[in-house]
Amino acid sequence: MEEIGQEEMTYCGVLNVDKPAGVTSRDIVNQVVRLVRPAKAGHAGTLDPLATGVLVVCVGHATRLINLVQEGRKRYLGRFALGQTSDTDDVTGNLQAGGDWSGITKAQLQAELTQFVGRIDQTPPQFSAVHVQGQRAYDLARRGVTVELAARPVDIFSLELTAFQPPEFELDVICGGGTYIRSIGRDLGARLGCGALMTDLRRLAVGHYEIANAVQSDQITAESIGQMLRSPLEIVSHLPRRELTQAEAIAVRCGQSIAASDPATNDSDLNRFERRTSLVDSEGQLVGVGELDAATERLQPRIIFPAS
């Protein structure tokens, strides 16, 4: 039997990695890239070197779905210390003493937390990946340049105080994309009048990718990665699903729209379709993601996967 070399293999899927502390998200992606070449890889949401936990890495054509992964809700467990501040808003920066925290009570802390739930305006940290005139804010901050970062709307769905041992406390946060947990601690400390910074952060979930199902980065090897890759169908599992005939699958891969209603089932209920719909062939393979045009009652391909 003719053996297939690794260079001829095509990787496509998703890795749910438990990122360790002390490495960057890019370090994990680079580790994966070395194993899946010539396929590419990318992560769906940066974790700082201080942080650990769920890092979703998309491989091959699944990288086309990164934006969909990033839309999922995130859950974090963050630890903070009262009475200190830093230029990075966490313990890795230049530390400065804050105000007196000794009088802060659990009830007072919980009362302030209510101001951070819902859609709020949040200013990113100076050391962040936000673009400022074509440059990353952290690159400017490292050169000693202070910039005025605009506040941005973020969604915080829940914020629970899970531990309070002054001056330290712990928060369980469920939030939307673009939220900086460091900024929550910074702003909370400012409201309390004593300052606060983040000392530890663990991401527990991104969408339905949870820490309980994550793999350790040192377990990802040339021998194991094929079995660790999860189907890209998981990423679109929350979307309505349209089964395609062979002819429709070919049309979608050519960028052509198809009828939203399924002729095989006479299903003409367009109300079941959201703005986006997963498109799946008769073998259960993801063909793409379509967008409904209500005027024409057709699904227009927006993301396309080639035939496997």
- pLDDT of residue 146 exceeding 80, the answer is no
171 and 96 in a single domain? The answer is yes
**Whether residue 97 is found in the same domain as residue 185:** yes
Q: What is the tally of structural domains in the chain? A: 3
Tokens 């993301």 correspond to: 303
- The answer to whether position 2 is within a domain reads no
Residues 262, 176 within the same domain: no
Query: Average per-residue pLDDT in the chain?
Result: 89
118 with 54, same domain: the answer is: no
Whether residues 129 and 197 share a domain: the answer is: yes
**Lowest-confidence segment of 37-51, 146-160, 192-206, 256-270 by average pLDDT:** 256-270
Same domain for 155 and 255, yes or no, is: no
172 in the same domain as 79:
yes
CATH number at residue 258: 2.30.130.10
What is the mean predicted confidence (pLDDT) over 99-121?
Answer: 96
Active site annotation includes 267? no
Q: Is the confidence at residue 161, as pLDDT, over 50?
A: yes
Residues with Cβ < 8 Å from 3, sequence gap 6 or more? Answer: none
Query: 76 and 204 in contact (C-beta within 8 Å)?
Result: yes
- Domain span holding position 38: 8-72+209-234
The mean pLDDT value for 226-245 works out to 94
Q: How far apart are the first and last CA of the chain?
A: 22
Give the residue-averaged pLDDT of 128-133: 64
Q: Which has the closest alpha carbon to 196: 269, 290, 101, 280?
A: 101
Same domain, 194 and 146: yes
Statement to judge: residues 106 and 171 lie in one domain: yes
223-232: pLDDT as tens digits: 999 999 999 9
3 in a structural domain: no
Q: What is the mean pLDDT of residues 264-289?
A: 76
CATH code assigned at 123: 3.30.2350.10
Residue 5 has pLDDT above 50, yes or no: no
Q: How confident is the model at residue 53 (pLDDT cuts 50, 70, 90)?
A: very high
User: Is the model's pLDDT at 306 over the cut of 60?
Assistant: yes
Q: Which one from 18, 48, 89, 281 is the annotated catalytic residue?
A: 48
Examine the domain organization and report whether 83 and 199 are in the same domain.
yes
Please tell me which residue, 269 or 185, carries the higher pLDDT value: 185
**Do 184 and 245 have their domain in common?**
no
